[in-house]
Structure 1
Amino acid sequence: MNTRALTGAGLGLRAPHAASVLAQHPRVGWWEAHSENYFGGGEPVAALSRVREHYPVSLHGVGLGLGSLEAPAPDHLKQLRALVARIEPALVSEHLSWNRAGGRYFNDLLPVPRVEGAIEVIAEHIDAVQNALGRPLLIENVSAYVAFNDELCTEADMLAQLVARTGCGVLLDVNNLHVNALNLGIDPLEEVARLPRDCVGEIHVAGFEWLDAIAIDSHGAPVCDAVWSLLDAALDRFGPTPVLLERDTNLPPLDALLVEYGLLEQRVATADTRLRSARGAMHEAAPC
């Protein structure tokens, strides 16, 4: 089974497209699947295994709730470990969010209040997951619609500290940065600059929608110009990095989605060319 590292552009694998992917084998660099969709076994995970025979795959989790006070649920972690063993993904990622409290589960990616003690709790949970899986996680920044009072650091600062404490990496979602800029007034370029240059293992782009003057991270629209520009800035800072196009709602036919994927491919290729040119110029300018 091919376990090579991800490179270039990838596309989110969604259930309505799985049959077409297996029948057509479109020219896509790699696919990313939501881990929890395959915990039940049966045909979904069998189809993902068949996709994995032809493409590299990344697994992206939405349910561990690393920012909850409670440790990750043992059954959830057990199923994730089994899926990772079966699929052998190139990367495994999860969100910097919480989803459980007082015995209740919230089906959402709730932002973590960046208060005293939060980093220690999350680092402990990341360590537990990485030890169980025998590999590092990538942790994704999330969209937020409210800000908390008296926070001690920015989200990028928290991610940088978690990288230093646990050895995890970062999955940088530049659409989430743009949504937070619109809703909360953060400077997305400052957040990009706060992350260590060597910590980002994957980047996401997606589209958002407006609802009552609030930017909603719906993954239900094409990528906007501002997010494309943030992607350029991120690639300039972090260098060649695998980039995923996400689409979860208002899902178009696969052929239509592949058109937007082609735009991402072009953007990534242009960034690679720009980086090589910059490096070449620096080499020529270096003193003997």
Structure 2
Amino acid sequence: MLDARHAHTVLPNAPGVGYKPQHFSEILQDVRPVEWLEIHAENYMGDGGRPLAQLRALSERFAISVHGVGLSIGGESPLDADHLARLKHLCDWLQPASFSEHLAWSTHDSHFLNDLLPLPYTDATLTRICDHIDQLQEVIGRKMLLENPSSYLAFDESTWEEPAFLDEVARRTGCGLLLDVNNVFVSATNLGFSPQAYIDAYPLDRVGEIHLGGHDEDEDDHGAPLLIDSHGREVVDPVWALLDYTLERSGPRPLLIEWDTDVPDWPVLADEARRAETALARMTEAVPA
């Protein structure tokens, strides 16, 4: 087992990117403007090999955020004990600056679904999610951040608005929140609400990270716009504008560029990070001395 030994315990209010192994050498050679990296936990739950060796080298230079995609926080079944144990092992070794998961479910009985599926916002769902988060935080011994989902439908049985639901989860469990601005834009377009009104209602004081990513455009069966959270292209201008709207209210936060499919060459991803750096710089310049 490798030793955890680095001191990057806090994410900076600066750009980060989702790490992809094909970018390893270029990241080490071309650091700016990226100051931190995100990894998906499930890619690093083995006992050794090149992935952990590369991660060790990166963690000596960058703060690392661990993003889980497989716990199924919102699922009806108990959290998988083996998955939790592997996650604890990773976090104990790496000592990441941040750990996050999704407000979603992805398991049914013993089957894992390759999607992050939305939930009805009810009192029963609230209790189940809080119980799961309490268990997770106790096992891994650290505070987690919970990410808002991208939605393609609304549930008739929901009795909570999403921002209020997330605020209540955070209040009950002590977890923080991860605000994905692209997810807000996708959900607002698909469900017909104002993304700015969502941000106005969101508990921004609980936000530990902000994420941005690309989406694909489609149409539903009635010809209405349908956006798909693909993480497979550059961030579009309306999402950058929504980020500005958010940062004006939240102040600077650690800001991640996600690009997980059709991954581009490093210079393209670095350019997206530079645009994030510019957005953060505008907020810093706007703060009175």
Q: Does 2:7 match 1:2?
A: yes
Matching residue of 1:221? 233
Residues 200-241 of structure 1: CA distance to partner in whole angstroms, max 9, x if unpaired? 000001111113442110111111111111111221222221
Residues 41-89 of structure 1: CA distance to partner in whole angstroms, max 9, x if unpaired? 3211221111001111111111111000112111111111111111111
Give the whole-Å Cα distance in 2 for the aligned partners of 1:18 and 1:74. 32
Give the whole-Å Cα distance in 1 for the aligned partners of 2:46 and 2:129. 27
Give the one of 43, 46, 59 matched to 1:37.
Answer: 43
Give the whole-Å Cα distance in 2 for the aligned partners of 1:225 and 1:200. 23
Matching residue of 1:94? 101
Q: Does 2:130 match 1:123?
A: yes
Matching residue of 2:272? 260
Q: Does 2:146 match 1:135?
A: no
Give the whole-Å Cα distance in 1 for the aligned partners of 2:20 and 2:193. 31
2:201 alignment partner AA: R
Give the whole-Å Cα distance in 2 for the aligned partners of 1:148 and 1:91. 31
Give the one of 208, 217, 237 matched to 1:210.
Answer: 217
Matching residue of 1:246? 258
Matching residue of 1:234? 246
Matching residue of 1:56? 63
Matching residue of 2:152? 145
Give the whole-Å Cα distance in 2 for the aligned partners of 1:11 and 1:116. 35
2:228 alignment partner AA: I
Give the whole-Å Cα distance in 2 for the aligned partners of 1:114 and 1:253. 39
Do the aligned partners of 1:160 and 1:194 also contact (CA within 8 Å) in 2?
Answer: no
2:180 alignment partner AA: D
TM-score, normalization by structure 1: 0.92
Once the two structures are TM-superposed, the CA of residue 25 in structure 1 deviates from its matched residue by 4.7
Once the two structures are TM-superposed, the CA of residue 154 in structure 1 deviates from its matched residue by 1.7
Give the whole-Å Cα distance in 2 for the aligned partners of 1:198 and 1:181. 21
Once the two structures are TM-superposed, the CA of residue 195 in structure 1 deviates from its matched residue by 2.4
1:120 alignment partner AA: T
Matching residue of 1:284? none
Do the aligned partners of 2:163 and 2:203 also contact (CA within 8 Å) in 1?
Answer: no
Q: Secondary structure at the match of 1:117?
A: helix
Report how many aligned residue pairs link the two structures: 276
- Alignment root-mean-square deviation, CA: 1.4
The 1:186–1:263 alpha-carbon spacing in structure 2 relative to 1, beyond 3 Å, is: same
1:36 alignment partner AA: E
Q: Secondary structure at the match of 1:198?
A: helix
Q: Which runs of 5+ in 1 are unaligned?
A: 281-288
Give the whole-Å Cα distance in 1 for the aligned partners of 2:203 and 2:231. 27
Give the one of 23, 28, 37 matched to 1:17.
Answer: 23
2:198 alignment partner AA: E
Q: Does 2:115 match 1:103?
A: no
Give the whole-Å Cα distance in 2 for the aligned partners of 1:116 and 1:58. 30
Matching residue of 1:167? 174
Give the whole-Å Cα distance in 1 for the aligned partners of 2:134 and 2:120. 20
Give the whole-Å Cα distance in 1 for the aligned partners of 2:243 and 2:208. 14
Once the two structures are TM-superposed, the CA of residue 255 in structure 1 deviates from its matched residue by 1.6
Matching residue of 1:270? 282
Matching residue of 1:191? 198
Percent identity at matched positions?
41
Do the aligned partners of 1:94 and 1:139 also contact (CA within 8 Å) in 2?
Answer: yes
